[in-house]
Structure 1
Amino acid sequence: MQSSQHQLAVWDVFVRVFHWFLLVAVAVSFYTTKTSGAPFLFPVDVHAQAGYIIIGLLVFRTIWGVVGASYARFSTFLYDPKVTAAYAKALLQRRAPHYASHNPLGGWMVVLLLASLGFQAISGLFMSDDIFFQGPLYGLFGREFSREIASLHALNSDLLLILIALHMLGVVVHTLLGEGIVPAMLTGTKRFSSLPVDISASHHGSRKRYALGALLIAAGICGWLWFYPY
């Protein structure tokens, strides 16, 4: 460690794997809405399967956000409106403090992204294209409900694209300000010129048993959706 830098292990392997798997699943999901052929024989099926994987990933991340490692916990990076507004003001003035976990704006962006992704994936379970695909929950609350949820699914798709664009903009801004966000999501380690303000976040030790439980629950839900007897 250099005297002018502080190095801190922030993102555990579960958060990092979740992040990159989610990125791939979302990319496949969007791609399969724009293609009608190769490389997929039935893009709508692949689109649905990507959605099932997203649901499994979100289930894991939700559980891990409650019982996981310190910097993965929602309680660590969700701040009240006053703190968030103060951070936004400081950021505009280029005086924003460093955070080991997500900063106040980034934390709320994470929640918005997860909520939008969750709605998008879950709403797809109630949908049908009347030809090739029928979601495992299609017709559960009647066909009229499924038609309404399909409209919201399309609207939320646009919202999700906006949120993803804002997320990427935030990454670019913080990278230009000298914060290595992308490398940290690869290695799990962040480097700081000064100690982050949330360095006092308590560590919870090994969480392997909790991680295994969360993975089993997520895999079970994903597997049920994937092999649901249509």
Structure 2
Amino acid sequence: MNIKLKKILIWDLPTRLFHWSLAICFIGAVFTQESEKYRLFHVTFGYTMLGLIIFRVIWGVIGTRYSRFSSFLFGFKEIKEYILSLVCNRPVHY
């Protein structure tokens, strides 16, 4: 019996590139924060991160099915209620 498993990717390429680019820019900004010599790199990393976040917000509205904000497991209301439950020391368990 020969069963072939089909690989299904949930996150699309733009979302994957966004996450990796954001991580690289963040690490780059951390390593260039102390020296005046690397200030241009630091600022470039920061503006690139801003552009990436703007892209992700737009992609979260118009992107593919799994990259849209509407497909997230929990909505903003549930997240807010969960944070409030933590602050009140009565965490909700799922």
The answer, yes or no, to whether TM exceeds 0.5 is yes
Amino acid in structure 2 at the alignment position of 1:22: L
1:9, CA displacement in angstroms? 2.3
1:43, CA displacement in angstroms? 1.3
Post-superposition CA distance 1:52-93 (Å, at most 9, x none): 1111111111100000011111111042428x85xx623xxx
Q: Aligned partners of 1:18, 1:52: CA distance in 2, in Å?
A: 14
Larger helix fraction of residues: 2
Alignment TM-score, normalising by the size of structure 1? 0.31
Alignment TM-score, normalising by the size of structure 2? 0.70
| Partner residue in 1 for 2:93 | 89
Larger relative CO (CA 8 A, sep 6+): 1 or 2?
A: 1
| Partner residue in 1 for 2:15 | 15
Amino acid in structure 2 at the alignment position of 1:66: V
Q: Aligned partners of 1:60, 1:81: CA distance in 2, in Å?
A: 25
1:69 equivalent to 2:73? Answer: no
- Is the partner of 1:89 in helix, strand or coil? coil
- The runs of 4+ residues in structure 1 deviating greater than 2 Å are 6-9
Question: Which blocks of at least 5 consecutive residues in structure 1 are unaligned?
Answer: 91-230
Q: Aligned partners of 1:12, 1:65: CA distance in 2, in Å?
A: 12
Post-superposition CA distance 1:123-148 (Å, at most 9, x none): xxxxxxxxxxxxxxxxxxxxxxxxxx
| Partner residue in 2 for 1:32 | 32
Question: How many residues matched?
Answer: 79
The percentage of counterpart residues that share the same residue type is: 33
Q: Aligned partners of 1:31, 1:73: CA distance in 2, in Å?
A: 32
1:7, CA displacement in angstroms? 5.1
Question: Which blocks of at least 5 consecutive residues in structure 2 are unaligned?
Answer: 83-91
1:8, CA displacement in angstroms? 3.3
Post-superposition CA distance 1:158-205 (Å, at most 9, x none): xxxxxxxxxxxxxxxxxxxxxxxxxxxxxxxxxxxxxxxxxxxxxxxx
